[in-house]
Amino acid sequence: MRDEQATDLELIVDKVRRAGALAQHLKANGLITRYKSDGSIVTNADTEVNRWLKEALLAARPDYGWQSEEEADNVERLTSLRTFVLDPIDGTMGLSKGSPYWTIALAVIEANQPVAAVVYAPDSHEMYSAAFGEGAWLNGEIIHASQRAELEDAEVLGDSRLFGKDIWPRPWPRLSVHSRPSVAYRMVRVAAGKADFTLALTPKRDWDVAAATLIAQEAGAVVSDHLGNPYGFNAIDSLKPSLICAGAPLFDQIIERCAHLATL
């Protein structure tokens, strides 16, 4: 592991763990919620975790760029060798409703790819982490993606309604589909072999998927949009049109089923 990757991973694991404790404290004392202009929910946990992590991380790495869901974009990040990409609370609605499956997702991006990443689910005591070329871990134990080769009875994290829509030329086989509020959490569960794939045909942003992309890839899963285009990060536009994260044996089958959806 490159020295800077190792020290960055150590840094972000420590700071995200502390930020998770802050979020739990705020939740225990009653969340303050409001709605953004796009109708999405935001709580004081989102904003306070964002503020605390920004101060802590940029104090340690003042030359790094910064991108977060809870802040207006600053294009100065494009000139930085490395950039932090943060979703302070992924799955805010789940957090506000008592689900334990919300996460804090943080990645370090270099040359448009994540090189160190953490996805932390404090309430379920799950710390997922990865460094480029070094593998992925859950609570310090190495993890590997599912090697399931058949879609029939596959374990899926996502919206069960998607698979019954009339957009599919042929029906999906029987699937076991479960909902989780955090996109990053769905992806890292695939990374850990606890689910076989997740599929979303709705847009995602860098902060939704950057950290979990590295963790999934280092665990042997494949991540792309629904047409198989790989992700790049820390570009001018953070939008990703869709998401597939799957164990390698199922990935091509899912891509084949989505091939007719050239535009969404």
Domain boundaries, the chain: 3-142, 154-258
Residue type, 10: E
At residue 198, the pLDDT reads 98
Q: What is the pLDDT of residues 120-141, one digit of tens each?
A: 999 999 999 999 999 999 999 9
Answer yes or no: are the C-beta atoms of 112 and 233 closer than 8 Å: yes
**Fold for the domain defined by 3-142:** Fructose-1,6-Bisphosphatase; Chain A, domain 1 (3.30.540)
Alpha helices per DSSP H over 75-230: 92-97, 183-191, 206-218
What does CATH list as the number for 154-258?
Answer: 3.40.190.80
pLDDT tens figures, 40-77: 899 999 999 999 999 999 999 999 999 999 998 888 89
C-alpha distance from residue 44 to each of 40, 53, 92, 205 (Å):
14, 14, 10, 21
